Amino acid sequence: MTREIENAAGIPVVQIATIVPIMLTVGANRIVPGVAIPYPVGNPSLGIQGDKAVRRELLLRAFKAMRTDISEQTIFEE
């Protein structure tokens, strides 16, 4: 589905996912690895400020992925 959104509408799609191999298999183009299965976009064990920092970093990485031109499936780990 993400490929179709990108191809048909020209809108870059980023998926934050905890199981990257599945995202590769289903054809996601821009992948940001998440934290863990129960909390893919955060880490509540770090407390409010730590969790907020993790979420912010993931969001900034996703924004970077959206702005990056790619020619193949890409994992944005940093």
Distance CA 57, CA 66 (A): 14
Name the residue ranges covered by the structural domains of the chain: 2-75
Find the DSSP H helices in 1-78: 2-4, 20-26, 47-67
The secondary structure of 47-60, three-state, reads: HHHHHHHHHHHHHH
Query: Residue 19 has which token pair?
Result: 């199981």
pLDDT given for residue 19 in this prediction: 95
Asked whether 27 and 3 are in contact (CB, 8 A), the reply is: yes
pLDDT tens profile 50-61: 999 999 999 999
Handedness of CA 74, 4, 21, 62 (dihedral sign): positive
- pLDDT tens for 14-57 read 999 999 999 999 989 999 999 999 999 999 999 999 999 999 99
The reported pTM is 0.87
